[in-house]
Amino acid sequence: MIKYGNLTIDDQRIKGSQGKTICPNCIELGKTNIKDTCLSINKDKKLFNCHKCGWSGYYGEIITNSEKTYKKPNIGNLTDLKDDHMQHFSMRGISQKTVIRNGIKSAKGDWYSFVYYEGPEVVNIKYRTKDKKFMQAPEAKPTMYKYNDIVNEDKIIICEGEFDALAWEEAGYIFATSVNQGAPNAKDKNIEKKLECVYNCFDVFEQAETIYLSVDSDENGQRLQRELIKMFTAEKIRIIDHLDCKDANEVLIKHSKDKLKELFESAKEVKIDGIFECNDFEGEITEAYRTRQPRGTTTYFPNIDECWTHRPGEVTIWTGYNNEGKSLVLKQLLALKSKYENWKHAIFSPEEVPHSEFYTDIIETYIGKSADKDQQKYNNYMTEYQLKEGIEFCNKYFFTVYPDEDHSINELLSKFSYLVRKKNIKTVTFDPYNQIHHKMKLGEREDLYISRFMAKLKKFAVDHMVAVHLVAHQSTPLVHSGENYPMPNIYKIKGGGTFGDKADNVLVVWREFRNTDQSNTAVKFISQKIKKQKLTGIPGEAVINYDRRTNRYLINDASPFEATNTEQLKILEPEILKHDEGLHPNSFYEKEQRMFSEIEGDAPF
């Protein structure tokens, strides 16, 4: 058993020098179960890393080639740096003072050498030519370049090459070092040879407070960066951005020492998965400030707009009693966005199979007449030309999803993701919740499953920037004959109140007088929860009426489908205003301002 901080790592199940075991940090964070072995351990090097939560570290003295005997390099063939070599260093911004201080010498022929010291002892020599040929002293100890400059330092800069470490020294940062063999190849499976110099100096880096990474911007350099972050933990690392340059030496040549100083001072912390700060979103915040925050857009029912509007990135639940029109209201609002703004929609609606009947329903709403030949005698039968027009409309804007067997949330989201990317879908609809094949974990409570399910929907909405709609039935109450059902309640959705807690918006479609007056076609649209009230709407209600002949909902006996411009929409209600994204009422925003203006006294700020 390994004690690391206040946690204990069980390494007894690992038989060889390396393997996987349970991550105690994941257990503490609630990210996994006791059967998941996601923590990799290298017993030889005393290193561990969790591939799930990112927890990693070093738990003892590292065991590297401690029993291996290295050969001391022969320095007898080295001479003071030749003039042409010195000129080469000068062209790369490295002064004679720095060359002398670091014992850089010339060797036979075109070779010059970087001498690797540990204390007074020479442990390795790296030979190089101006045209980038390399070799090292045979069987010498792999160590870090400028080792003596980083021992007992609180801050250390790790570079990919000797010239980069020397460039930092020119800028005044003596505590710069370099790996001795460059970065590992981006695709290498075994990188221990390339990182042996780091392992051999592990304790030097372990005692430092902060490690700065100044590696190349290419794939190999980024591989080195990832490996060093994993080895020394993200909390300890700072990343130096070379801007338009490949490495630190190019910054020195192209810009100046002062620019290197600026880059060091502006080094960034490693981005840890799942943790954010305001600067991460500065661009989005500034853009929203300069233009406008992303408000919901019109439903083309002005009275509904006060209660709720379409807003991408949000999850909206539609609830109500069976057969009171919640699906029909939703489909009509989607069709209006298609008619006026070319929105495309993807829908999973197994209760409306065969698909032909689903599409016929939308066609009738779009055309405003019936596709049932029996309606011919009532002069309410659409022409074949109108039918084709409706088919073209549906073919362009509506896509149904219905996998052969697997109706799990993961499979459905996979299909929806494909459509969003290929067809530029704006909304995704699950109608209804109870037709999805739910896969609860063994012993999982339903409320915890629903919470997990809703989190998936929210992530999908934000990642794909689409509006997600979920139709969920209301629990039907017991009522006496001649009584109406009570208003549907956000916490009476079948499955429990977690739906309402996790959704951005909860909308109710309610035929208040259905049980006592079947002829009454009034439908109440009620928004019981609006999370972003400044941007989406203010909780409230609106009344619309269903017209069976046209399969449409009306306001003031008029249908938004017949309005083709701002002036015609004003007939429905005079608060429609036009803005850059199309027709959009802002009456709910004005209502909010009136609410604030009624508050007496000074503002709290």
Q: What is the pLDDT of residue 32?
A: 61
Q: Which of 591, 562, 504 is nearest to 300 (CA)?
A: 562
The pair of structure tokens assigned to 353 is 């199979």
**CA separation, residue 467 to residues 26, 161, 222 (Å):** 33, 50, 36
Q: What pTM was estimated for this model as a whole?
A: 0.60
pLDDT confidence tier of residue 238, bands split at 50, 70 and 90: very high
pLDDT confidence tier of residue 33, bands split at 50, 70 and 90: low
pLDDT confidence tier of residue 588, bands split at 50, 70 and 90: very low
**CA separation, residue 128 to residues 475, 572, 577 (Å):** 79, 81, 72
Q: What is the pLDDT of residue 68?
A: 67
Q: What is the pLDDT of residue 61?
A: 52
Fold classification of 83-269 is Dna Topoisomerase Vi A Subunit; Chain: A, domain 2 (3.40.1360)
Q: What is the pLDDT of residue 564?
A: 53
Q: Tell me what the pLDDT averaged over the chain comes to.
A: 87
- In this structure, of 64-68, 96-100, 415-419, the range with the lowest mean pLDDT score is 64-68
**Could you tell me what percent of the chain has a pLDDT over 90?**
61
Q: What is the pLDDT of residue 565?
A: 53
Residue 77 predicted with pLDDT over 90: no
- Considering the four listed CATH numbers 3.40.50.40, 3.40.50.300, 3.40.50.410, 3.30.559.10, the one that applies to the domain covering 302-597 is 3.40.50.300
Decide the pairing of beta strands 105-106 and 56-58. Answer: unpaired
pLDDT confidence tier of residue 34, bands split at 50, 70 and 90: low
Residue-wise pLDDT for 146-163, tens only, equals 999 999 999 999 999 999
Residue-wise pLDDT for 242-271, tens only, equals 999 999 999 999 999 999 999 999 999 887
pLDDT confidence tier of residue 592, bands split at 50, 70 and 90: very low
Domain ranges of the chain: 2-58, 83-269, 302-597
Q: DSSP letters of 377-428?
A: GGT-B--HHHHHHHHHHHHHHEEE---SS---HHHHHHHHHHHHHHH---EE
> What 8-state DSSP symbol labels residue 435?
G
pLDDT confidence tier of residue 569, bands split at 50, 70 and 90: low
> Are the beta carbons of 295 and 309 closer than 8 angstroms?
yes
Residue 364 predicted with pLDDT over 50: yes
Q: What is the pLDDT of residue 477?
A: 84
Sign of CA dihedral 88, 94, 100, 104: negative
Rounded to the nearest angstrom, the gap between the alpha carbon of residue 56 and the centroid of all alpha carbons in its chain is 23
pLDDT confidence tier of residue 186, bands split at 50, 70 and 90: confident
Q: What is the pLDDT of residue 526?
A: 97
Residue 576 predicted with pLDDT over 50: no
The pair of structure tokens assigned to 118 is 């540990």
Q: Is cis: bond before 574, omega within 30 of 0?
A: no
Section 402-420 average pLDDT:
93
The three-class DSSP label of residue 75 is coil
Give the integer Cα–Cα distance in Å for 511 and 543: 10
- In this structure, of 37-46, 90-99, 594-603, the range with the lowest mean pLDDT score is 594-603
Question: What type of residue sits at position 514?
Answer: R
Q: What is the pLDDT of residue 597?
A: 46
DSSP H or E stretch at residue 204: helix 202-207
pLDDT confidence tier of residue 56, bands split at 50, 70 and 90: confident
Buried b (16+ CB within 10 A) or exposed e, 83-109: eebbebbeeebbeeebbeebbbbbbee
> Are the beta carbons of 347 and 399 closer than 8 angstroms?
yes
> Are the beta carbons of 488 and 506 closer than 8 angstroms?
no
Residue 512 predicted with pLDDT over 80: yes
